[in-house]
Copies of this chain bind each other. A is one copy, B any other.
Amino acid sequence: MSEYIAHDNEGRTVGKVERKYFTFAAPPNEMVLDSGAKLGPVTLAYETYGTLNENGSNVVLVPHALTGDSHAAGYYSDNDDKPGWWDNMIGPGKGVDTDKYFVVCSNVLGGCMGSTGPASINPDTGRPYGMGFPFVTIADMVRAQKALLDHLGINSILSLIGGSMGGMQVLQWAVQYPDMVRSAIPLATTMRHSALAIAFNEVARQAIIADPNWNSGNYYDGKKPDLGLSVARMIGHITYLSDEAMRRKFGRKLQGKEDFSFNFEADFQVESYLRHQGAKFVERFDANSFLYITKAADYFDLAQQNRVESGIEAFSRAVARFLVVSFTSDWLYPTYQSREMVKAMKKSGLNVSFCEIEADWGHDAFLLPNQRLTNLVKGFLESVYNDT
């Protein structure tokens, strides 16, 4: 049984979860990053759910999206009012069933929730890295996760599952460490970050950089660039929804008033929602991490990342079985991008299933409770598990 506080399908509380840390790549054995820069020591914050079986054949790795963290499921304590970010998918009896699988989730390299990132102390200076932090790529994030799995004694992954930037890591894992990855579930993602997605990230970055409190990344002793980061997050939230999702959720409903204010207060609910999301985000996220991680996503092109000419060539290195899922209203990584990915996988001779799920909630759909998605994931994992 799982050893963490989680709610099973009957709502009972079971076990407890805990954030752990693993540190590696201490000098002189630093990580060599894609940029050529060296980084070390490196710490990854991670959590695990469920129990590793004797032959180590039940590992599910969950890379997170842009602003996620290692806390994917369960509660830290009985008083915790919020579970991990994917608690509807991961837990006892759920889509990723922690009664069967050993689930690992780590905060990405460059992040700000316990893993080494720009807010971490640079051992050379005794001060936060800030803009002195080296660039990281999706492949660098995957390299760091590989070191964590080595440390945990894991040499085979039953499946990887992740959406958005988590999906990019899923793809990169399958190509970078093909012998370790038996199956992979990229959700709501792309093998090539589009001009539109880059454009949104760039404007979000410029909002941060425009904030004088950003101060070239040196703000850890003073005021933080909260206003800039808040605008950046608001831009993100627009891309996570969709025209249809916003229409259903907000329409032109006013925020607690009968008529227009004829001033610059939030008249519409959608304005309040965005302001609230922005204000909440700055309490938990580091602006420099946002800069680095969005840039890593922008750089992601599976072919380029693996120094080959095409997605087909990149996938030719993989052996995993794939389940690719897209969502009808996702306009950040639209279905046509998943189809391109699936086409490249098939041309590489890979075993791939593809499903486009009808969902109104835009890109966010992959994170929301969805019985269809849960059933797909559950069935796929069982099938792969039984095959081995």
Contact = CB atoms under 8 A, between A and B. Distances in A.
Interface of A: 35, 37, 131, 134-135, 192-196, 198-200, 202-203, 205-207, 209-212, 227-228, 230-231, 234-235, 238, 241-243, 246-247, 249-252, 260, 262-264, 266-268, 270-271, 274-275, 278, 291, 295, 298-299, 301, 331, 334
B264 A295 contact: yes
B252 A203 contact: no
29 contacts: A35-B260, A35-B262, A37-B262, A194-B243, A195-B246, A195-B249, A195-B251, A195-B270, A196-B241, A196-B242, A196-B243, A196-B247, A198-B252, A198-B271, A199-B271, A202-B234, A203-B231, A203-B235, A205-B264, A206-B230, A206-B234, A206-B278, A207-B231, A210-B228, A212-B212, A231-B231, A264-B291, A267-B298, A267-B299
A209 B209 CA distance: 15
Nearest to A249: B195
Contact of A207 (B207, B212, B295): B207
B209 A207 contact: no
Contacts of A299: 260, 267
A298 B231 contact: no
Contacts of A268: 195, 198, 202, 298
A266 B206 CA distance: 11
B196 A238 contact: yes
A291 B264 CA distance: 8
A252 B199 contact: no
B275 A206 contact: yes
Given A202-B274, A267-B299, 20 more contacts: A134-B262, A135-B262, A194-B243, A194-B246, A195-B252, A196-B246, A198-B268, A198-B271, A199-B238, A199-B270, A199-B271, A199-B274, A203-B231, A203-B234, A203-B238, A209-B264, A210-B231, A212-B212, A252-B301, A264-B295
A228 B242 CA distance: 25
A308 to B, nearest CB: 15
B193 A252 contact: yes
Nearest to A203: B234
Contact of A250 (B195, B206, B238, B241): B195
Nearest to A246: B195
A174 B22 CA distance: 68
Closest 8 CB pairs of A and B: A210-B227, A195-B246, A35-B262, A135-B262, A195-B250, A203-B234, A202-B271, A195-B270
Contacts of A203: 231, 234-235, 238, 274
Contacts of A131: 264
Most chain B Cβ neighbours within 10 Å, of A192, A193, A196, A230: A196
A204 to B, nearest CB: 9
A297 B271 CA distance: 14
Contacts of A202: 234, 266, 268, 270-271, 274-275
